[in-house]
Structure 1
Amino acid sequence: MINAAVTCEQIKDGDAVNPQMSLPNMLYCVVPLDWCPHLERLQPMPPEGLNPQTPCETCGDPRENWVCLHCYQVHCGRYVNQHMIQHGLECHHQLTLSYSDLSVWCYECEEYIHNEVLLPFKRDAHWKKFGEMMLGTE
């Protein structure tokens, strides 16, 4: 019998169930990297900050958009028209922030990233999206 109360830390530390196992109602977690060499290429946030309501600059779609943390262009994600993927590949801009869930993805590392240097971007987007401070980052 598998313990259903497996934590993300157990998964991260390799103490959890076999990752190849697929069970109904089993939860999975994503453990972001805490460092990525592309964090060093971040550009300062624009003076006006971020705007989570910005539609894709290529197709105008308002859903599932990401902001490039190198040039601050906004494009739609892989489940819409993949314009941010195209932007990242063409411009070699690796880091992008999701306006859907405020996660940061690195196209070159192919991993989610969470680092203290990303908190100002996440806080700004959270404030403008929800009208309140982001919990746990004061």
Structure 2
Amino acid sequence: MGPSTHLLQQMTIFVTVFTGGGCGMMYYLMQKNFAKSEYYRLAVEHLNTHSTAMASLGAPPLKVHNIHLSDRHNHVDHTSAQLKIPVTGSKMGGYLYTASTRDALLNRWCLQQVTLQLKTGEIIEIFPATESL
């Protein structure tokens, strides 16, 4: 006689919970790795120092959200990184678009471009800096 229906139901529930937990943990770790990366941190730091962009968002406080892993704007390989980072302030939200390349000699990431696109459609160039000092 084969396994009982009750046992099969318990196994199904266990496998479902285990798989869901594993997927959730993988998603969390991937987001954490992005947030720790040099190309991500440099872009957010430039946003934090850009007074016009921060005022448009209504920041501080600035909230940086998880990137959408399936978004076609997000691409990272050994030599380049391109991200679309969701950000919000108290007045407005938008996306921080960033492009970086890896300097092989220095083994560091170098920003090429950082742009904030607000939900209204307004685009603010953050790096290279266009804000007058």
TM-score calculated relative to the size of structure 2:
0.25
Higher helix share: 2
TM-score calculated relative to the size of structure 1:
0.25
Query: Whose relative contact order is higher, 1 or 2, with alpha carbons under 8 Å and at least 6 apart?
Result: 1
Bigger-Rg structure (1/2): 2
